[in-house]
Amino acid sequence: MRPELVVTGIGVISAIAQGKADFTEALLAGRSAFGVLQRPGRQHESAYLGAEIPHIVFPDSLPPQTLRAASLSAQTALVVLQEAWDEARLSEVDCRRIGLVIGGSNVQQREIAQLQARYRERPQFLKPTYALSFMDTDLCGFCTAQFGIRGLSHTVGGASASGQLAIMQAAQAVLSGQVDACIAIGALMDLSFWECQAFRALGAMGSDRYADAPALACRPYDQQHDGFLFGECAGAVVIESRAASQRRGAPAYATLSGWRAEMDGNRNPDPSLEGEIAAIQGALAAAGWTAEQIDYVNPHGTGSVVGDETELKALQACGLKGARLNATKSLIGHGLSAAGLVEVIATLLQMRSGRLHPTRNLDEPIDASFNWVRHQPVAHRIERALTLSMGFGGINTALCWQRTDR
């Protein structure tokens, strides 16, 4: 019989809050922090909109010399890992039995672009550590060195589905017996203006319509949506068996009951209705659930015109119109590589609080027949939830979560 997998630790940072307590409060208050992106290296002749982390509070346990050497992506990975590590009491677990999977690829583009510009005319002065830092595995190095992790550690790239893929890989590592506990991190994707410009040229990133009103620009599932808004964020969850967590008295947030990743054989960015349906149905089958048992869905919901409409068609085709539905990206923006994992965290925190956060700017839903949470939070006890993420390259993922008595 397959061991029951649970989440025992959470760490999160976003533009609206750092730490799970403040993040929960900000979500339920419907808070957002959209504006013109301000970080050096993010603007070039165009004013890109999004949401940036205003400041980071570093715990005393993280050495200043480590933080000085770390990129923004590495710093946030260390911060969220520390929060999840402490909550799950992983210091009580043999370090050789702890694993780490980091979701995300090409996550340090802004830092790389700035460094290359700085040393373009004097490459001989480039720091030798660039040979390490341009690789995403450098985040693994920072995290395993700081926390003494001696089990597996690697990155997994799945574009905007990277965070959920990291959870799947962590779950498989525990089920295989390779480790007793595995941390999944959704890494902060640090965009430079090159990526911002490319997303805008592709038609994926908004917003021309609300260029002078950033607070109104992020509009998943609204008739006035015109693309996603980038949002800095990172998150970490600890996956382990219920038996292992109970042995050391670590409470569980929820049970990971089933999951599925489906490819739709498509290199282009457009979504696939068939691929999304297959991922949802596959996850439900793995959990042994029917669609009627799902009472909450946290969807991908980016604000993309084609993407939003395709996702609602997939939910309808799978019999999920009755579940409560909101869009976390309407508050925090699209975290790209981190998005799926941070939205899992939002789901588990709502499950624990018994309330669902509002969907900002959902004034005219493209399909009003769904069971939307719109402008105000609502009381709702989540028993079974479904979280969805899709990534460029034809990647579709779905995870099933069940309430636990802790």
- As a whole-number percent, the residues of the chain with pLDDT over 70 amount to 100
The rounded distance, in Å, linking the Cα atoms of 32 and 332 is: 6
Q: Give the position of tokens 């620009």.
A: 217
Residues in the chain: 406
Task: With cut-offs at 50, 70 and 90, classify the pLDDT of residue 65.
Answer: very high
Of 248, 110, 84, 242, residue with least CA distance to 166: 84
Model pLDDT for residues 178-190, shown as the tens digit of each residue = 999 999 999 999 9
Model pLDDT for residues 342-392, shown as the tens digit of each residue = 999 999 999 999 999 999 999 999 999 999 999 999 999 999 999 999 999
Model pLDDT for residues 191-206, shown as the tens digit of each residue = 999 999 999 999 999 8
Quick check: 385 and 294 in contact, CB under 8 A?
yes
pTM to 2 decimals?
A: 0.97
Homologous superfamily (CATH) of 5-247 is Thiolase/Chalcone synthase (3.40.47.10)
In the Cβ-directed half-sphere of 290, how many Cα atoms lie within 13 Å?
Answer: 3
Quick check: 291 and 284 in contact, CB under 8 A?
yes
Lowest mean pLDDT among 72-81, 127-136, 220-229, 249-258: 127-136
pLDDT at 85 over 90: yes
Of 50, 48, 98, 54, residue with least CA distance to 76: 54
Model pLDDT for residues 273-323, shown as the tens digit of each residue = 999 999 999 999 999 999 999 999 999 999 999 999 999 999 999 999 999
Residue 24, classed as helix, strand or coil, is: helix
Task: With cut-offs at 50, 70 and 90, classify the pLDDT of residue 45.
Answer: confident
pLDDT on residue 56? 98
Residue 72: C-alpha distances to residues 53, 69, 75, 190, 220 (Å): 10, 10, 5, 7, 27
**The pair of three-digit structure tokens given for residue 97, joined into one six-digit string:** 């039995």
Give DSSP secondary structure letters for 114-153. Answer: HHHHHTTT-GGGS-TTHHHHTSTHHHHHHHHHHHT--S-E
* Fold match flag (5-247 vs 257-403): yes
pLDDT on residue 160? 97
Task: With cut-offs at 50, 70 and 90, classify the pLDDT of residue 406.
Answer: low
Q: Please, what CATH class does the domain formed by 257-403 belong to?
A: alpha beta
Sequence-ordered list of residues with C-beta below 8 angstroms from that of 212, at least 6 positions apart, any chain: none
Question: Where exactly are the structural domains of the chain?
Answer: 5-247, 257-403
In the Cβ-directed half-sphere of 168, how many Cα atoms lie within 13 Å?
Answer: 24
Q: At residue 214, what are phi and psi to the nearest 5 degrees? A: -55, -30
